[in-house]
Amino acid sequence: MESGVEELMPRLLPVGDCDLAEDFDPTVPPRTPQEYLKRVQIEAARCPDVVVAQIDPRKLKKKQTVNISLSGCQPAPEGYCPTLKWQQQQVANFSAVRQSLNKHRNHWRSQHLDSNVTMPKSEDEEGWKKFCLGERVYSETDALSDNENLGIDYMKVGFPPLLSIVSRMNQATVTSVLEYLISWFGEKKFTPELGRWLYALLACLEKPLLPEAHSLIRQLARRCSEVRVLEDSKNEEQISALNLIICLVSRYFDQRDLADEPS
């Protein structure tokens, strides 16, 4: 067994036989370099040949499959491709929003939230979807009750991404909520509530991007391009919102292969 170990793990430094005292005790801190090297040899010999990891299966409940697409965005419908000037202006506006947010983050974080605002925990995916989109969008119901016409029920319509709310979100929460909403968007239609939150979360996303965030925003841009092509009614306001998200991902966050290129 020892010869096999020597073949697979050759010594980086030659270690010959050490003349150690008869009272050498490997359990006490070494006093000389020879004792240290001997202790390392003894500990290595005691390591088991095979180690089995103890994995908690509850931690594997979430999606384990990662689909990676190398394709770019689908071209905008004819007549709806944004001009380069428009894209550059949106990037400039977005940059100004980010600078203002960073400058005043501590101020907004110190502001008291209304009594009806309870932010979900970072890992509460369903809670965040309801918080951002509202129960009406979440449950896909359009009917309004008489009571709802008397005032805004944010539990029904979703909380807007107020500065006092997003300023309290650390980067882990920003990335998590972005993931939740992009996952939702992958199977659902685009809504104004979704658009507002996607813009706000992108504004809170710090550069340089972490690999997870990098993958998420590319996924978002591709999904926006898919919905843009499938938009039958060619709602100009909605297409403009989709164009904006694609523009920010591609031109502000430097994913240039996803950018709309005016002909």
Report pLDDT digits (tens) over 47-83. Answer: 776 767 777 666 555 555 544 455 689 999 888 999 9
Quote the pLDDT of residue 220: 97
Listed in order, strand segments (DSSP E) in the chain are none
Domain-located, residue 72: no
Domain-located, residue 207: yes
The pTM for the full model equals 0.70
Average per-residue pLDDT in the chain? 83
Least confident of 7-16, 107-116, 158-167, 185-194: 7-16
Quote the pLDDT of residue 179: 97
Quote the pLDDT of residue 27: 75
At 202, the pLDDT band (50, 70, 90 cuts) reads very high
Mean pLDDT of 99-124: 92
Quote the pLDDT of residue 142: 57
Higher pLDDT, 121 or 156: 121
* 132-173 tens-digit pLDDT: 999 888 777 655 444 444 456 777 888 999 999 999 999 999
Quote the pLDDT of residue 151: 54
Question: Contact 225/188 with Cβ under 8 angstroms?
Answer: no
Give me the number of domains the chain comprises.
Answer: 1
Among 245, 238, 234, 237, which Cα is nearest to 181's? Answer: 245
Q: Which amino acid is at 33?
A: P
Domain-located, residue 122: yes
Give the three-class secondary structure for 172: helix
For the cut 70, the answer to whether the pLDDT of residue 230 exceeds it is yes
Higher pLDDT, 45 or 198: 198
Domain-located, residue 106: yes
Containing domain of residue 95, as a range?
A: 84-141+152-258
CATH number at residue 238: 1.20.58.1070
Q: What is the DSSP string of 102-133?
A: HHHHHHHHTSPPPTT--PPPTT-HHHHHHHHH
Q: What is the DSSP string of 27-68?
A: TSPPSSHHHHHHHHHHHHHHS-S-------GGGG-S------
At 176, the pLDDT band (50, 70, 90 cuts) reads very high
At 86, the pLDDT band (50, 70, 90 cuts) reads very high
Domain-located, residue 59: no
Higher pLDDT, 117 or 5: 117
Higher pLDDT, 252 or 18: 252
Q: Can you tell me the distance from the alpha carbon of 16 to that of 37, in angstroms, rounded to the nearest whole number? A: 10
Domain-located, residue 200: yes
Domain-located, residue 39: no
C-alpha of 169 from chain center: 13
